[in-house]
Structure 1
Amino acid sequence: MILAINGKTEYRIEGEYEFAIKEFCDLFNKLTGAVLERAQEDSDKLIKLGGVKPKDKGEDAYVIRTEGDNLILSGNTNRGILYAIYTFFERYAGCRWFTSDCEYVPRKDEFTIPEINIDESPFFWYRETFYKDAFEPSFALRNKLNGHHMQLEREHGGKFEYGLGFVHTFHTIIPQEEYFKTHPEYFPMIDGERTTGPHHQICLSNPDVLKITIEKVKKAFDENPNVKIVSVSQNDTFEEGNQCRCDQCSAIEEEEGSPAGNVIRFVNSVADAIKDEYPDKYIDTLAYRYTRKAPLKTKPRDNVIVRLCTIECCFSHPITTCDQVNDKGVHRNGSFIEDIVAWSKIANNIFIWDYIVNFLNYLTPYPNLYALQKNMQFFAEHNVKGVFSQGCGEIKFSEYAHLRAYVIAKLLEDPYCDVNLIIDEFMYGYYQNAAAPLRKYIDVLNKKAEEENFHFGLYDDPNRDFLTKEFVDYADSLFDMAERMADDETILYRVRRTRMSLRYAKLFLMDGSLEERRRELEKFFEDLRYFKIESLLERGNLDSSYERMRQIVTPEDVERK
């Protein structure tokens, strides 16, 4: 079927979704030079947007089909129609959207397509990669991300929006400053006293706490019809949890064999209270830190989502193959495997909260890229319905942020895709002629961690054991080569910004006089500003980043020899 030739087309377009019509026409024009007109009554060659329902009932399911001389792109929702459009241009025209401002749309003198009969849906139904650039509609929509932080409005087909905050909402539901003085019984009993703190929880066996929670959940749904999920989830905490240990809460925890039992019973009560009035909505909670272990008796309701968190895992190896044991004698990834297996037996809606960046060192070389696909496949095989991959969402750049955002988006759509091809396409699309040495650097870095069995969590500083002088010298030579091969100033800027990761690690490894190290540190921060890199660590900025690095690189009383 010839859709266009020499900048001309005999086809006309029809549909009711104006944004989708504009997207198709704009891409078609970029691709072929042809201008698509609206269909008339006598039009016999049509591109039809909408009108056909996919077999899958999911919101994001779509159909791409040729029927005679017509091309049909449709979906269950407006978002599904858009996904049909982007899939069509990806598969049959070779278009790619690598970042929010870097796309590849080839020019075709003749645009011919075969017979098509596609009826499918992205694998996971909640898909979010938490990188700032990925929030932009030009990236998120075209790469089929539909999570809460994506900047997708109604015209874009919407998204899965959370109410009452995205996570850690006990503080929001039962604020300490509002209730503690008058109702200390709403808060956890620890060591015989009702107490509060930034990492403390609430008393989940208190009936008034449940009543207030239900009221606020209903209000969140009522105030914003776009809200699909309300999070009723524990406050952020460390291993100890700071959960309530009153007699009732303690009895439930003992009966369930896990503090998660108390949480799930509470959340189930909320879910039961809203299911009839809000039949298409969900209550979300966490299996995180002290609640990661599944309860023995209580199963989450069908309208409850459990977000299981990987925070304790090693991230430089696939979850299923890492052999590291922590300082408490616990197999880091093995214990997570036990927990996800247990949850998958009792929960219909499991989401994963995964961690894909070093929180303390956003720029450090972080060899987790080759573990991502095996982990995503592991999630898929254990009843996981959605994934939130946490990168550095508050700033625009970290170590290979754009590459990770793209790769993860593709894995969320299809965890069994050819991930090496995806990486190659990004590298050559984004870095162009400079791609080969940078692709080699990625390969050497990630294979070094895998083959030499180095383990990395969320807070590890760069170290000489992994980043040996030989490795750093070789990496520098690859970046030197990439800079020489850069096509133009735009590509050179990208290469040099990417190189900031290696330069950051070298600050930790520097020898030399105090004055030499000071000079290097000042130059590094000058370049951070030039490359618009806003922070080196979570919840930080350049000032806090500088103070931390000054203490590490140039301690006033230390002269490195």
Structure 2
Amino acid sequence: MKLRSFKAYQLLLLLLLLVSCSKDKLVLIDKGHTDYTIVLDEKASEEEKKAAAVLQDYLQKITSVKVPVKLGTEGVKSIYLKTLDGDNEEIGIRSEDQDLVIYGGSDKALMDAVYVFLEQYLGCDWYTPDVASIPEMENVVLDKNLNYVYRPEIEVRTVHSRLFYENHTFADEHKVTKKSFPFYVPEARVHTFHKFIPEEQFYKEYPEYFALRNGKRLPTQLCLTNPEVLRIVIDSVASLFEKHPEATVASVSQNDNQQHCECDTCKAIDEEEGSHAGTMIRFVNKVAERFPDKTISTLAYQYTRKPSKTRPDENVLVTLCSIECDRSGSIENKCEAFAEDLKGWGKLTDKIRIWDYTTQFTNFLAPFPNIHTLQPNIKLFRDNNVKWVFEQHSNNPSELFELRSYVTAKLLWNPDLNLDSLMTVFTDGYYQEAGTYIKQYVDTIHKGIQDDKDFFLFLYGDPSQAFSSYLNPEKLKQYTSIFDAAEAAVKHKPQVQERVKAARLGVDYAVLEACRKGISEDYSLTNKTEAGVNQAVVALLDKFKSTCEQWNITMMNEMGFTVNEYCDAYRKAIEVAKQPNIAKGKKVVLNTKPKKYADEDPQTLTDGALGGNNFYANWLGFEGNDLDAVVDLEGLKEISTVSSAFLQVTNHIVFYPSKVTYYVSNDGVEFKKIGSIQNPMPLNKESKINDIQYFKLDFDPVSARYVKIIAENLKEAPYWHHAAGLPSWIFIDEIIIN
């Protein structure tokens, strides 16, 4: 009897403990059963109903229990979803006796609150639209004293990534916008002057509407002190708002160039204001005055980045752009002038939108070790009271695209998260057994650039600039080895291995470019085999293209240069490289002066290294002047063909020469013309932005020691170009003579 009484006592004690513990907990789901109901207001909006459906769906995915959703009917135990009055971004998760309350200060904030609940209390995470971590549980038990409140300090968060734009649920999961320009009039998002007053329509009859540059009116920018310009812009903005009544923001902003008006009136205002933003803000304030219930956005960008003295009006949104900054370090450490301008604008207005840049726009797939700068930069924006941040990633896939999209979105929501932990969570979750290697690669390449204190990591740079730095031959071999190990670690998981191959594209691209440039014996297009071609490069190019196709990666850069065009051009480079070339290694004398690029070294033209589609990559540049070069073949040679490659990047004022003429000589003094080639694709508004053209001349054999090449520069950009009046460039690379 005593033993049985003792056991009964133990059972009673256990039951008392369980009851006691349960009083301190909210047991939402217990082994396939729930007493809870998701409760909405009777007049719940569609967005509130959607938030309830999301919560219900995930609870069912996690526990296999479908919690009912009801309108206005309180259950015995309830999970209340509420949108509070006030239209703000605050969210909260709290317990009230046995009930759970999830709320937001707006419909959007309520959805954010639901996803925060799923993430922080149930352990969900979303790596890409197709890959997530959703736990399986029998029970959902929460602390009864919940009182979580959070208000994101950055209220409008945009990551310029198609992962979010094309997958709206994924955007909701990460609490970022589904569009690059939410709330904006679609036709008036940025760089709008040329849209309001098109050159084609107004320039010939009304040149006074446009910028005065060096005594000539050019349609680069508008003359902001011309009253007719103001009238037309106001009418245009009114028309756009009438067309899009749902929109609340229109951009009245400069075109994408620095050719602002220098007429006496504009100049006087800018001098008085101490900044070219002076004319801009005065003009935009006048436009904003006519639309008091709307927001007029403008740019503080390049020549207008320095703050004016005039305050922007209450309904003017200033978009401050960090395009010039060195991305090897944080803005505060590497771009102090921008940081100062941010603080200066902050003294004038609390309506600041940041346009930040996070990838290399000339080479989307190139290694771009700037991830360590994302957090300090976002903190800088947050600490200066910025409420709206647009992180311009590439939209199209770029290096470590999924990781960058994930980390940037997380930091915009909470800038104080631990960056290293975020990256580890992602790499372990998305790449699984290979995650430790991907993280090792990220850490290693970032250490490489941090060790090179003098390296300027530019948005419009090229991997060739880093071949003596974090992409030198030794480091490329190290990165390749890391990815080899990563692929091997998931060889039993083909789907995950494909993710690793996509992450590897940056290193593969760098290796391809290193071989094109011939940076070492191991990294070269050619070798001493009978075929003369490095077959490993051919195989790598095929793998690169195949992986891009697998992941629907089509663009190499913002100029519209496609992956297919890149691969075709690369194969052409291989064919060029394996050609015999009696000019290779021969001395070159320049009769005209190059500028800046390829170290201004004439031997660039015969060094055997081939330039890519960016002017940093082995191209010799001439600004506003012709190329006049002479190659010394070091003895009389019989020749019958001469070829030279030229680059075109129209948005950077790099155009093909209008004509290339070739000459020969025996003594280097008297030259005989052997022929000319007119540019078969003269520049026009529809010209391909980014391309390479070979100007090749075949002729009857002649004997010569010296070959002269004269390439005629257009001298300056045409009047319709955004750089009208500025000197144009020609870029030449390898000269091939046979």
Report the TM-score, using the length of structure 1 for normalisation: 0.89
Q: Once the 2 structures are TM-superposed, how far is the Cα of residue 170 of structure 1 from its aligned partner? A: 0.9
Q: Once the 2 structures are TM-superposed, how far is the Cα of residue 512 of structure 1 from its aligned partner? A: 4.3
Q: Once the 2 structures are TM-superposed, how far is the Cα of residue 289 of structure 1 from its aligned partner? A: 1.1
In the alignment, which residue of structure 1 is the partner of 2:255? Answer: 235
Q: Once the 2 structures are TM-superposed, how far is the Cα of residue 147 of structure 1 from its aligned partner? A: 6.0
Q: Once the 2 structures are TM-superposed, how far is the Cα of residue 4 of structure 1 from its aligned partner? A: 0.7
1:461 and 2:462 aligned: yes
Q: What is the distance in 1 between the residues matched to 2:413 and 2:60?
A: 27
Distance 1:485-1:284 versus aligned 2 partners, 3 A rule: same
In the alignment, which residue of structure 2 is the partner of 1:306? Answer: 318
Q: What is the distance in 2 between the residues matched to 1:58 and 1:317?
A: 37
Q: What is the distance in 1 between the residues matched to 2:279 and 2:97?
A: 59
In the alignment, which residue of structure 1 is the partner of 2:377? Answer: 375
In the alignment, which residue of structure 1 is the partner of 2:190? Answer: 167
Between 1:477-486 and 1:447-456, the stretch displaced more is 447-456
Q: What is the distance in 2 between the residues matched to 1:313 and 1:504?
A: 24
Distance 1:311-1:191 versus aligned 2 partners, 3 A rule: same
Q: Once the 2 structures are TM-superposed, how far is the Cα of residue 508 of structure 1 from its aligned partner? A: 1.6
Matches within 5 A, 1:364-403: 364-393=366-395, 395=396, 397-403=397-403
Q: Deviations for 1:397-440, whole angstroms, at most 9, x for unmatched residues? A: 21011111111111111111122211111111111111001101
Aligned-partner SS, 2:157: strand
Distance 1:34-1:523 versus aligned 2 partners, 3 A rule: closer
Q: Deviations for 1:368-424, whole angstroms, at most 9, x for unmatched residues? A: 01111111111222232211111111x2x2101111111111111111112221111
Q: What is the distance in 2 between the residues matched to 1:42 and 1:520?
A: 63
Q: Once the 2 structures are TM-superposed, how far is the Cα of residue 263 of structure 1 from its aligned partner? A: 0.5
Distance 1:554-1:407 versus aligned 2 partners, 3 A rule: farther
Residue number among 16, 20, 28 corresponding to 2:59 in the alignment: 28
Cα pair 1:318 1:371 within 8 Å, conserved: yes
Q: Deviations for 1:483-539, whole angstroms, at most 9, x for unmatched residues? A: 111151110000011111111000121214163245643553344323322121113
In the alignment, which residue of structure 1 is the partner of 2:241? Answer: 221
In the alignment, which residue of structure 2 is the partner of 1:187? Answer: 210
Q: Deviations for 1:449-472, whole angstroms, at most 9, x for unmatched residues? A: 112223201122223212122212
Aligned-partner SS, 1:113: strand
Aligned-partner SS, 2:346: helix
Q: Deviations for 1:204-253, whole angstroms, at most 9, x for unmatched residues? A: 1112221222222233333323323211111111xxx1111222111111
Q: Deviations for 1:22-44, whole angstroms, at most 9, x for unmatched residues? A: 11111111111110113384622
Residue number among 505, 513, 529 corresponding to 1:508 in the alignment: 513
In the alignment, which residue of structure 2 is the partner of 1:50? Answer: 82
Letter paired with 1:291: T
Distance 1:160-1:118 versus aligned 2 partners, 3 A rule: farther
Distance 1:319-1:13 versus aligned 2 partners, 3 A rule: same
Q: What is the distance in 1 between the residues matched to 2:89 and 2:178?
A: 12
Q: Once the 2 structures are TM-superposed, how far is the Cα of residue 481 of structure 1 from its aligned partner? A: 1.2
Q: Once the 2 structures are TM-superposed, how far is the Cα of residue 285 of structure 1 from its aligned partner? A: 0.7
Q: What is the distance in 2 between the residues matched to 1:32 and 1:19?
A: 20
Letter paired with 2:180: H
In the alignment, which residue of structure 1 is the partner of 2:277? Answer: 260
Residue number among 230, 246, 268 corresponding to 2:263 in the alignment: 246
Residue number among 51, 66, 73 corresponding to 2:95 in the alignment: 66
> Which sections of structure 2, spanning at least 5 residues, go unmatched?
1-25, 516-523, 527-531, 585-607, 611-738
Cα pair 2:164 2:177 within 8 Å, conserved: no
Distance 1:560-1:355 versus aligned 2 partners, 3 A rule: closer
Aligned-partner SS, 2:331: coil
Aligned-partner SS, 2:280: helix
1:100 and 2:121 aligned: no
Cα pair 2:93 2:100 within 8 Å, conserved: yes
Distance 1:522-1:146 versus aligned 2 partners, 3 A rule: closer
In the alignment, which residue of structure 1 is the partner of 2:500? Answer: 495
Letter paired with 1:208: E
Q: Deviations for 1:59-91, whole angstroms, at most 9, x for unmatched residues? A: 432222211111112222211110110111111
Alpha-carbon RMSD across the aligned residues, in angstroms, is 2.2
In the alignment, which residue of structure 2 is the partner of 1:345? Answer: 347
Aligned-partner SS, 1:189: strand
Distance 1:180-1:59 versus aligned 2 partners, 3 A rule: farther
Q: What is the distance in 2 between the residues matched to 1:163 and 1:42?
A: 43
Matches within 5 A, 1:520-559: 520-540=540-560, 541-546=562-567, 549=570, 555-556=576-577, 559=608
Q: Once the 2 structures are TM-superposed, how far is the Cα of residue 549 of structure 1 from its aligned partner? A: 4.4
1:481 and 2:504 aligned: no
1:86 and 2:102 aligned: no
Distance 1:402-1:553 versus aligned 2 partners, 3 A rule: farther
Cα pair 2:84 2:106 within 8 Å, conserved: no
Letter paired with 1:90: E
Residue number among 315, 331, 336 corresponding to 2:327 in the alignment: 315
Letter paired with 1:444: T
In the alignment, which residue of structure 2 is the partner of 1:425? Answer: 425
Letter paired with 1:285: T
Q: Deviations for 1:239-283, whole angstroms, at most 9, x for unmatched residues? A: xx11112221111111112111111111111112111xx1xx311
Larger radius of gyration: 2
Aligned-partner SS, 1:302: coil
Letter paired with 2:216: E
Distance 1:233-1:555 versus aligned 2 partners, 3 A rule: farther
Higher relative contact order (CA 8 A, sep 6+): 1
Letter paired with 2:389: V
Letter paired with 1:357: T
Cα pair 2:554 2:563 within 8 Å, conserved: yes
In the alignment, which residue of structure 1 is the partner of 2:405? Answer: 405
Q: Deviations for 1:108-166, whole angstroms, at most 9, x for unmatched residues? A: 1111112222332222122111111122212211111126338xxxxxxxx54444332
Distance 1:452-1:194 versus aligned 2 partners, 3 A rule: closer
In the alignment, which residue of structure 2 is the partner of 1:328? Answer: none
In the alignment, which residue of structure 1 is the partner of 2:35? Answer: 10
Q: Specify which structure has the higher proportion of strand.
A: 2
Q: What is the distance in 1 between the residues matched to 2:411 and 2:575?
A: 41
Between 1:551-560 and 1:2-11, the stretch displaced more is 551-560
Letter paired with 2:472: T
Cα pair 2:249 2:297 within 8 Å, conserved: yes
Between 1:89-98 and 1:110-119, the stretch displaced more is 110-119
Cα pair 2:431 2:496 within 8 Å, conserved: yes
> Which sections of structure 1, spanning at least 5 residues, go unmatched?
151-158, 323-332
Q: What is the distance in 1 between the residues matched to 2:124 and 2:393?
A: 26
Between 1:214-223 and 1:261-270, the stretch displaced more is 214-223
Q: What is the distance in 2 between the residues matched to 1:65 and 1:290?
A: 49
Distance 1:94-1:351 versus aligned 2 partners, 3 A rule: same
In the alignment, which residue of structure 2 is the partner of 1:354? Answer: 356
Aligned-partner SS, 2:174: coil
Identical residues among aligned pairs (%): 35
Distance 1:42-1:101 versus aligned 2 partners, 3 A rule: closer
Aligned length: 527
Distance 1:439-1:554 versus aligned 2 partners, 3 A rule: farther
Distance 1:551-1:391 versus aligned 2 partners, 3 A rule: farther
Aligned-partner SS, 2:333: coil
